Amino acid sequence: MNEENFLPFALPSLSEDEIEEVVDSLRSGWWTTGPKTRRFETEFAEFVGAKYAVAVNSATAGLHLALESIGLKRRDKVITTAYTFTSTAEVVRYFDADPVFVDIDERSLNLSIPGLRDALQRETGVKAIIPVHFAGQPCEMDSIHDLAAEYGVKVIEDAAHAFPAEYKGRMVGTLSDLTVYSFYVTKTIATGEGGMVVTDDEDLANRIKVMRLHGISRDVFNRYTSEKPSWYYEVIAPGYKYNMPDIAAALGIHQLQKAETFRRRRAEMAETYTAAFADLPLRTPLVEDTTTLHAWHLYVIRLDLDRITIDRNRFIELMAKSRIGTSVHFIPLHKHPYWRDTYHLKADDFPVAERVFDEVVSLPLYPSMSDHDQQRVIDAVRAILSESVR
């Protein structure tokens, strides 16, 4: 019987630096949006190479605000992938606008460029494209931008998985009209809950800053720290409550400083996995050429179901019996009742996503895993698949 402790699928990497910064925030009295949020925004923008960064309380909020800032309205359309988490599409429905779903590329599992082209040719009223950098592998952004320019639509990158990542030597976050990151607890850097919107467009950044806090013309930090009476403000739009508190930003400041160290560790682990699985009946993740830098938020294997006697669900059960957590990214949106029924989606509309869903398993991959932890995962995968070969 395996007596090892259960190895979870994901854990944040935390040190005393983050803890001390949070304690300092608590003692300072600044628990909501304040000086540390501003510092985090400034340092994040510098890291990415963008002109503006606006911190929010989730990537979902960031995507919502990004769409609001470009003027999305009722009956507009936004093209995105069916192979994503529901938040990518749900924010479109906040406007009573409609997502248009596209299948994925067989190799990268990112948005299909031929599918995108077909959707742009077919649909009217398209306002934006939201490409999703699956697992941290950047999308084919040159092709996406060429099509966006041809059809006059905005590009808002869902980079929830893609920090830090590069596309052809340029940092994700410097490529498109807007880019949105996630700092959810499982992400490459984590603030528990949180996100960031980056852009080089001052008007878009200013609009997002206003709308993240009730549509108020001046943020609370400016009003509450002024030495002169500064109580007056104006509500200039019906905004939202999407601001990031300083307690979360305190975590982000130090997570950001370790982002490249974390990425290198995940990349090393990904290389170890790929080498260890080379002879097994599975496909390892696509790795593009050296001009593209993978963030390695996820390590997703694809089981070769024609060569093994078990299905994906049974594989996950056997991994759990080995006391190892796994996950599945993603359940395609066309399989969920709301999206399927609202937009009359069928499996035949998304043949690649439909097939890939049955094959994929996400393995543990995070910096606080030890070499022993990773070897446990490797040994379990090898044992299960070796016993299941046809």
Q: What are the tens digits of pLDDT across the range 89-103?
A: 999 999 999 999 999
Angstrom CA distances, 240 to 90, 97, 235, 243, stand at 16, 18, 11, 9
Q: CB-side exposure of 187: number of CA atoms within 13 Å? A: 28
Positions marked catalytic: 187
pTM exceeds 0.85 for this model: yes
pLDDT for the residue 291: 84
Superfamily the domain 259-386 falls into = Aspartate Aminotransferase, domain 1 (3.90.1150.10)
- The pLDDT tens digits of the residues spanning 336-382 come to 999 999 999 999 999 999 999 999 999 999 999 999 999 999 999 99
The CATH architecture one would assign to domain 16-257 is 3-Layer(aba) Sandwich (3.40)
pLDDT of 226 > 70? The answer is: no
- Taking 3-state DSSP, the helix, strand and coil percentages for the chain, each rounded to the nearest 5, stand at 40, 15, 40
Q: How confident is the model at residue 85 (pLDDT cuts 50, 70, 90)?
A: very high
Lowest-pLDDT choice from 119-133, 134-148, 216-230, 300-314: 216-230
Cα-trace Rg, the chain: 22
pLDDT for the residue 217: 85
Kindly report the average pLDDT of the chain as a whole number: 96
Q: What tokens appear for 50 in the block?
A: 């963008």
Rounded to 10 deg, the angle between the 16-28 and 246-257 helix axes is 150
Relative to beta strand 77-81, strand 98-102 is: parallel
Relative to beta strand 154-158, strand 126-130 is: parallel
Closest CA to 37 of 240, 195, 234: 195
Residue type, 229: P
| Rounded CA separation 319/201 (Å) | 47
For residues 39-78, one letter each, b for 16 or more C-beta atoms within 10 angstroms of the residue's C-beta and e for the rest, the string is bbbebbbebbebebbbbbbbbbbbbbbbbbbbebeeebbb
Q: What tokens appear for 373 in the block?
A: 């932890």
pLDDT of 316 > 80? The answer is: yes
Per DSSP, what are the bridge partners of residue 322? none
In the chain, where the domains are located: 16-257, 259-386
| Residue pair 251/21 in contact by the 8 Å Cβ criterion | yes
Is 259-386 the same fold as 16-257? Answer: no
| Rounded CA separation 52/46 (Å) | 9
pLDDT for the residue 170: 97
| Rounded CA separation 128/68 (Å) | 11
pLDDT for the residue 218: 77
Relative to beta strand 154-158, strand 166-167 is: unpaired
In degrees and rounded to multiples of 5, residue 247 shows phi and psi of: -60, -40
Q: How confident is the model at residue 287 (pLDDT cuts 50, 70, 90)?
A: confident
Residue with tokens 């398993």: 361
